[in-house]
Amino acid sequence: MRCYLGLCFLSLTVASLFWVWGARLVMPFAWLELIAVGAALLVYARHARDGEKIILSGPVLVVEREHGGRTERTEFPRQWVRVEPCSGDGSLIEVSGQGRSVLVGRHLRPQLRPALAREIRMALRMA
């Protein structure tokens, strides 16, 4: 936020100098630039914390997904969990059990998704 406010101050200072020197069209474009940069920062900030957490806690596997400030939490009894790729080798991973399912691995490179599926399966067997 401080960087954005610094950008606003600098841009409006330069635009004000041009305004004083007679270049009146610089000020509207400076405001347009600051509005566009502000909107882009808001969109980025909304999705900056997007992610997924997979927690194995005792008899329950918990999948938490955050997207755009909204958190979705799904719990699965450990003994009923199935972990499978959705369609192919690099596709999202479907975690399902007792009639519910959730797709995970959205924020992971496709090449690493099979390793994640193996790691989840191994953790479910181990504990």
Per-residue pLDDT of the chain (127 residues; tens, 9 = 90+): 899 999 999 999 999 999 999 999 999 999 999 999 999 999 998 888 899 999 998 899 999 999 888 999 999 999 899 998 877 667 899 999 988 999 999 999 999 998 999 999 999 988 6
Domain identity same for 34 and 60: no
- pLDDT, position 100: 92
Domain identity same for 22 and 55: no
**Exposed, middle or buried, 15 (CB in 10 Å: 0-12/13-18/19+)?**
buried
8 A C-beta contact, residue 104 and residue 113:
no
- pLDDT, position 73: 94
Domain ranges, residue 31: 2-47
| Phi, psi values for residue 106, rounded to 5° | -60, -35
| Phi, psi values for residue 105, rounded to 5° | 100, 10
Domain identity same for 55 and 39: no
Domain identity same for 89 and 37: no
Global confidence as pTM:
0.69
User: Which two tokens mark 28?
Assistant: 């509207």
User: Which two tokens mark 113?
Assistant: 């998704």
